[in-house]
Chain A
Amino acid sequence: MTSIDIAWLPVCRDEVLAPEHGVAVLLPGGEQAAVFRTHDGDLHALSNVDPFSGAAVLARGIVGDLAGVPMVASPMHKQHFDLRTGVCLEDPEVSVRVYPVRIEGGMIMVGSP
């Protein structure tokens, strides 16, 4: 993240997002993020828009790992995205935006510049 002024948006209560699920979040500027929780409890947030199809669907993908990399599979055409970096595992030239995410007071918060 290059921006210094991050606005944190409360998304939902921590317990709403169970392991290996994803939820979509509408950000103030109209962008959409997808927040995922991996099996170990870690949270990740990526852009919700699948860059291959243009549809806002990544939050509905299957969460798992490939060769140890935590990933989500796009439900549209099954490309995989590294949850930590947003890079597409099949085509490293394609990536989706990563958003900061944290828990504050029992709420999941997503940061946007």
Chain B
Amino acid sequence: MPRTLVVVGNGMVGHRLVQAVRERDQAGAWRVVVLAEEHRPAYDRVALTSYVDGWDPAVLSLPDNTFDHDDAVSLHLGDPVTSIDREAREVVTASGRHVDYDALVLATGSRPFVPPVPGRELDGCFVYRTIDDLDAIRERATQAVAARGGRRSAMVLGGGLLGLEAAKALRDMGLSPHVVELAPRLMPLQVDDGGGGLLRGLIEDLDVTVHTGTSTEKIVPDGDRLIARLSNGVELDLDLVVFSAGIRPRDDLARDAGLEVGERGGIVVDSNCRTGDPDVYAIGECARVGDMVYGLVAPGYAMADVVAGALTDSHADEFTGADMSTKLKLLGVDVASFGDAHAATEGAREIVFADALAGTYKKLVVSSGGETLLGGVLVGDATPYASLRPMVGRALPGEPAKLIAPVSDGGGVGVDALPDDAQICSCNAVTKGTIRKSIVEDGCADVAAVKKCTKAGTSCGSCVPVLKQLLNACGVEQSKALCEHFSHSRAELFEIARVTGIASFGELITKHGTGRGCDICKPAVASILASLGNGHILDGEQATLQDTNDKFLANLQRNGTYSVVPRVPGGEITPDKLMVIAEVARDYGLYTKITGGQRIDLFGAPVEDLPAIWKRLVEAGFESGHAYGKALRTVKSCVGSTWCRYGVQDSVGLAIELELRYRGLRSPHKLKSAVSGCARECAEARGKDFGVIATENGWNLYVGGNGGMMPRHADLLVSEVDKDTLIRTIDRFLMFYIRTADRLQRTSTWLESLDGGLDHVRDVVVEDSLGICDELERQMAQHIQDYTDEWAAVLDDPVKLAKFTSFVNAPGTPDPTISFRPERGQKVPVMLGTPGVRT
């Protein structure tokens, strides 16, 4: 009989606990009951501000948060625990549910602290902690704009980390925010005066008004608006106010149950996260451990792991304190603070680089003799953070100033200097040693593999550059060489071909490679040449570069026959065209199957039948579906607003337009897309390389999704844009991918491996940070203009047609080794034995 673990709270830390217990509880000793106050399963609160980008709660969902397929976990949403009876070992919920427990974990998090400002309970005053909070703020902001138009204004009370996040959210909603902070500088906990001053300048440049050293005396209603009077005499005329003046642990349940709570709040626990009652634990922001309350997610995760270890007797580490380092991008400004940022250690000394022109401020705190790194503050450019943070408390490898000096002076620190027990990923507590082991012993050969194996880099991502350095340092020379014939990466070869205009493989390998090429570099170069628009892929030498699929414009199957897939844009097809496909399939004896991409695959065609099959298809108005190419496959669609009662836009129309726009586009790997006509997402657009979801006001574009072996939800790139902007952004995105990805790298892994990830892509294709958008668009325009149907061109060219024979000495004779047997009314291949050879 399994024992019952009750978890109160389904926030980030509570969820982590359940996952860790389920991972480690091999014996099935526990059944887990999760009681949650919020109405949605655990989501990424750290990323709360990004909710404003698309108002799509699904984007924030934490992985596996519904436990649909896990019978050992039952999750009750929207039913908070109201009391604990420790005697009876049961909890009672708001709905009246009684649940017995053998072990109880409190993971109730914090509540925002609202200072006793008169007027704080007025309509239009909000806090900033949950998705529901943001929805409420949005509603108020929308009403204000609707009622009065123009740019509306808001006040954020509190200029700490969360206050600035709130200011960003408000700005993204189209409001002009004022930030009011009591301390003399912004982010007083994390940065010093110097950093705070620079931060203020950078943030004021972004249309945020900052009032420091100021308190709010009162808020009074003025019709449906609010007036705030500040202690510096300023009066602000506002549409809404967000309180963000710190957080307080939610410890009332524990207090009422007679458990000890700290003087300044927080459920008191020991280093095993146990309260005074051995069956009750507290973790995350509600816990006080070692007389500290941690307001960050990483220490909470560490506590969850400690408790999961204790419950499953796996390894019961103790919680020994945590790193309070933070790195964030606030309103586009990098801010990082780590270790003893305020030089509180006795004898600590500071080294400061400030560059007001470049907008960067960097400070290191070192021990009195300068031999040990104690902490630091970085504003404007936080690149050194990833390598500096793991060095805190350790001997410095050299002159401290060098570590933050501009890189051109040989600054920066190498990963070599770090010992094995240095923590590289502080979110998931992964050390350099663990990462090295994954590379050296478990054979992880790239960042994606290391992430998967160690979890490093999977939360905030700030350590990804260090993962790359470690791969290099371990000699997994992240060799960018395409193969033995080219020492270049695909992206470099693309640039060579683009800039020099070299249009043949022969010339490219003679000038830039060695040998004669192979099945790796030839198709890769063929794809590059095709992306750059060099005529038909079977012209001249190009025919020798193509994989068999491209060579025969069909997909090779296991018995040497091919399959044929005509394009069906958006999955829309007339009955007449359906009949043509049916007749062709019947006349040539082809096995037919509906594909996942909303078209029809016809199997079992020997090479010599392909031209005749395609002749019939082309005559009926079909064209190549490029199912055989590393190229755009399909743009799936749901039925959209034309028929669907819920649809808000014409998804079929857009899908067809996109499919016709990008058809034939050769790329580093196949490209899949989909368009959904509403948020119900029936087209599964978020599993695609680029997916579009309709909203009431426009289109959301998601990129980097994948299904298959490595599923990945696509990330939101732009939201609520009109169709022209959407298409322009996709043009740029695709061309940027085609230029810079590795061979056979899908957009999902490309995005994961890019330094800066999605933000970088957004900088390049939305903000045009590299100034290449015009050119990317031009290239796409050229592709669209040059597009012709590959199959129609083959049918018109006797030289190309002549290649479609099984035997050069017996054209028209089919390959006698091919045979079929019937199965469920169709034919399927019979494989002849291959004596003497292992398969």
Contacts and interface: CB of A to CB of B under 8 A. Distances in A.
A26 B817 contact: no
A35 B807 CA distance: 11
B837 A57 contact: no
Contacts of B523: 62
Given A62-B547, A65-B517, A75 B556 contact: yes
Interface centre among A26, A61, A71, A80 (most CB of B within 10 A): A26
Contacts of B831: 54
A80 B483 CA distance: 14
Interface residues of B, number: 40
B515 A56 contact: no
A77 to B, nearest CB: 10
Contacts of A30: 816
Contact of A63 (B544, B556, B839): B544
Nearest to B814: A26
Nearest to B551: A60
Interface string A15-55: 01111110111100010100100110000000001011111
Given A21-B544, A26-B810, A57-B560, A73 B518 contact: yes
A105 to B, nearest CB: 15
A94 B836 CA distance: 9
Given A12-B808, A24-B806, A68 B515 contact: yes
Contact of A51 (B560, B807, B834): B834
Contacts of B816: 26, 30
Contact of A62 (B519, B559, B806): B519
A80 B522 CA distance: 14
Given A16-B808, A25-B809, A65 B837 contact: no
B486 to A, nearest CB: 12
Contact of B815 (A32, A51, A78): A32
B837 A11 contact: no
B484 interface: yes
A30 B536 CA distance: 35
User: By CB atoms of chain B within 10 A, which of A16, A38, A66, A67 has the most?
Assistant: A66
B817 A56 contact: yes
A111 interface: no
Nearest to B521: A64
Contacts of A71: 518
Nearest to B807: A26
A10 interface: yes
B579 to A, nearest CB: 32
B744 interface: no
A48 to B, nearest CB: 9
Most chain B Cβ neighbours within 10 Å, of A65, A71, A78? A65
B611 to A, nearest CB: 16
B400 to A, nearest CB: 49
B597 to A, nearest CB: 23
B544 A62 contact: yes
B552 interface: yes
Contact residues on A (Cβ < 8 Å of other chain), bracket: 35 or more
Contacts of A87: none
B807 to A, nearest CB: 4
A50 to B, nearest CB: 8
B809 A53 contact: no
Contact of B834 (A9, A23, A53): A53
A24 B808 contact: yes
B560 A55 contact: yes
A61 B548 CA distance: 6
Contacts of A25: 807-809
Interface string B821-839: 0000000000111101111
A18 B539 CA distance: 13
Contacts of B518: 62, 64-66, 71, 73, 80
A76 B556 contact: yes
B491 to A, nearest CB: 22
A107 to B, nearest CB: 10
Given A32-B817, A62-B547, A24 B807 contact: yes
B630 to A, nearest CB: 15
Contacts of B560: 55-57
User: Can you list the 8 inter-chain pairs with the closest CB atoms, starting with the nearest?
Assistant: A75-B548, A73-B519, A55-B560, A54-B834, A23-B808, A20-B544, A62-B519, A51-B837
19 contacts: A12-B808, A16-B808, A20-B544, A21-B543, A25-B807, A26-B806, A51-B837, A52-B834, A53-B558, A54-B817, A60-B548, A60-B556, A64-B518, A65-B516, A65-B518, A66-B518, A75-B556, A76-B556, A94-B838
